Amino acid sequence: EDVSFIPTSLAAGRDHSLALNSDGTVWAWGNNDNGQLGDGTYIQHPSPVQVENLSGVLKITAHEACTMALKEDQTVWDWGERWMSGATNIPEQIQDLDSIIDIDIGSRYFLALKDDGTLWARGANEYGQLGDGTTTDRSTPVQVQYLNNVIGFSAGYKHSLALTNDGKVWAWGNNDNGQLGDGSYDNSTSPVEVPNLEDVKAIAAGDYGSIALKNDGT
């Protein structure tokens, strides 16, 4: 047994998996047709291989054939199917994005939280899921409008959620199934407050729904 391999967290994409090791390295296995294993090849692996040129990692996340990592130096790296910037089989740093403390991937887009409480987004934006007031796809990160003091967030399939430090929840993007929780079925290109919901401590966005956990356990 290799006792030096001690996974501290896991992530899974459409058909590949990842483990963050206790030494800050990342290991991946499964399908690799878009380079989502980050080992410099496009060969699938049934057992873990180390992601190349990547250390000091704090968090990993994956969706479909894309993989992302947040490093200790607050930079963000991605590999695989990266939508707006082409596929790569080794990690590349996302430019114009620093001071990041958390990340999450949706469908063909991602959200990143800065240490100043602002939220940033990049990628597909056909429903306004980037929250910048437009439906324009973005190849460089843009700031989510009107939000400060963000302490939590979640990227769904085509909609996004944010939790601010006053316990309120905000939502934007696709709303075909009422997943924005604002009493309508209208899409929104910028955050709208979810009414009748306060004192929230955790949120999660799924494909077509949303969920919140309040401090009272409901």
Task: Specify the pLDDT at position 46.
Answer: 97
**Which tens digit of pLDDT belongs to each residue from 146-191?**
999 999 999 999 999 999 999 999 999 999 999 999 999 999 999 9
* Torsion sign across C-alpha atoms 185, 146, 103, 94: positive
Closest CA to 215 of 177, 154, 168, 179: 168
Task: Specify the pLDDT at position 1.
Answer: 46
**Which tens digit of pLDDT belongs to each residue from 109-152?**
999 999 999 999 999 999 999 999 999 999 999 999 999 999 99
Question: Residue 119 and residue 117: Cα distance in Å, rounded?
Answer: 7
Angle, CA 54 vertex, CA 49 and CA 56 arms, to 5°: 120
What is the 3 state secondary structure string of 17-56?
EEEEECCCCEEEEECCCCCCCCCCCCCCEEEEEECCCCCC
What's the pTM value of the predicted model, to 2 decimals?
0.95
**Which tens digit of pLDDT belongs to each residue from 51-99?**
999 999 999 999 999 999 999 999 999 999 988 888 999 999 999 999 9
